[in-house]
Amino acid sequence: MDYTITILWLVLSAAALATGQYEVEPNKAMESVFEAQNLELAFPSPGERERVLSEGLYDPNSVIPIDVDVYYKHGDPTPSIFVTIPRFAKGVPYSLAYVTNEARPNGTLLQAYPSYEWHKSHGADCNGLTSVYRTQIDECGRMWVLDSGEIDFVHYCPPQLYAIDLESGQVVHHYRMPERLYKRNVSRFVTPTIELDSHNCDVGFVYMADSIGDGIVVYDVAAQQSWRIENKFTYPHPDFGTFTIAGDSFQLWDGTVSITLTPHALGVKQRMMYFHSLSSDWQMAIPLDVVNNGSNWKLNDVSAALDQFIVLGKRGSQCVAAAMSETGMLLCGLVSPASILAWNTRTPYTHQNLVMLIEDERNLQFTSGLKIVRNHEGKEEIWALSNRLQKAFGSGGLDYKEINFRIQKCGVQELLNGRPCY
């Protein structure tokens, strides 16, 4: 882009932001599914709870949920709801859990998934789970669990990926990342994005975002081969390292956090991979066939296929999680103002085409989990997890007298068409 145009664009973006000039839908609220002041964790026994508390393996102030995932069994209107609790630090007894029906004083009780055993080694057993930031459930009813392998930036284990069949609870795929594709004690793999062949659940790709190592690892599931993409577009941007939410500011210096794909249903010839860095306002894209061809990506070659990357536009604030609807609407959890932002991928990425579907500074503080799932009737729903990370990571810490963690949902069509969520 021409330098003067860039400057003009930045000025326009800043002006648009200052006056709140995204297109705004009528003020709406999502439907609340889960609220907690703090996470209430179930343990195999009261004795085990005491043990982890006394050994520093459980600190109630360290359990911060990041992602939500939802699974509807065919025909069953009551979904299973999963949350991830990364081990940012020691003090997290388990890193992946599901929401039970049991109400407790701090919030609804959570139970370890697949089981407590999977988590209890805290990095000593690399076949277990060390730290999970996000998951994705595919259309074949399997949960892909991306394990970063590190706790507080010490890699106890290599990053790994498990696919677990949600009906049987069986592991159906396992991939351990080779040493050359991650940076020891630096990388943090936070988001898996799954792309499956429409006829074969065992053929496809997994794209894994390394937000601190600033790259993307592509894994060809059938061939069991992988490669790494890393260049200036997968990095953070200095103008967007400060996050301000509801008046509180904190620093994050994170690269690629989210990856979505042109939906098959659009039937377009050239599908794209859409991605963005957390500490940046650039929305990026690259043709998916370029990403999926391993011979394009030589290790440590920061100029590999560089001319294929497209800066679609700059939105003026950071987006955390993102999700794509079957109709090609890219949704993301915008930081300032706290909202769900939508963009129709068939239009230019300009401010006129960015629509704030819900702006809710009370209920949407730091939306780190965002999923579009199909319910029991095949209808698309958006699910969001928000967590007040700015307070958890800030100097004051969380105020446990208020609701800190929320899971909310809405029908995608209801949200897009300005109809009530419930």
Ligand X SMILES: *[C@@H]1O[C@H](CO)[C@@H](O)[C@H](O)[C@H]1NC(C)=O
Q: Which residues here bind ligand X, judged by CB under 6 A?
A: 38, 40, 60-61, 105-106, 154, 184-185, 293, 295-296, 400
* E-state strands within 177-237: 189-196, 204-210, 215-220, 225-229
Of residues 393, 263, 233, 266, the one with CA closest to residue 331: 263
Of residues 218, 117, 199, the one with CA closest to residue 161: 218
Query: Residue 327: left (phi > 0), alpha (psi -120 to 50), or beta?
Result: alpha
Would you say 43 or 349 has its CB closer to ligand X? Answer: 43
Cα(112)–Cα(405) distance, integer angstroms: 18
Provide the β-strand partners of residue 80: 71
Shortest distance (Å) from residue 74 CB to ligand X = 35
Shortest distance (Å) from residue 307 CB to ligand X = 13
Shortest distance (Å) from residue 59 CB to ligand X = 9
Phi, then psi, of 140 in degrees rounded to 5: -100, 15
Look-up: residue for tokens 């930031």?
Answer: 133
User: Which structure tokens are listed for 46?
Assistant: 């009261």
Shortest distance (Å) from residue 355 CB to ligand X = 36
User: Which structure tokens are listed for 368?
Assistant: 């780190």
User: Which structure tokens are listed for 257?
Assistant: 């956090």
Helix (H, G, I), strand (E, B) or coil at 234: helix
Would you say 185 or 242 has its CB closer to ligand X? Answer: 185
Of residues 231, 327, 335, 214, the one with CA closest to residue 286: 231
Cα(360)–Cα(364) distance, integer angstroms: 6
User: Which structure tokens are listed for 232?
Assistant: 């200036």
Shortest distance (Å) from residue 52 CB to ligand X = 12
Would you say 58 or 240 has its CB closer to ligand X? Answer: 58
What DSSP line would sit under 370-382, residue for residue? Answer: EEEEE-TTS-EEE
Per DSSP, helices labelled H in 122-223 are none
Shortest distance (Å) from residue 296 CB to ligand X = 5
Shortest distance (Å) from residue 55 CB to ligand X = 16
What DSSP line would sit under 375-401, residue for residue? Answer: -TTS-EEEEEEE--HHHHSSSS---TT
Shortest distance (Å) from residue 155 CB to ligand X = 6
Would you say 110 or 145 has its CB closer to ligand X? Answer: 110
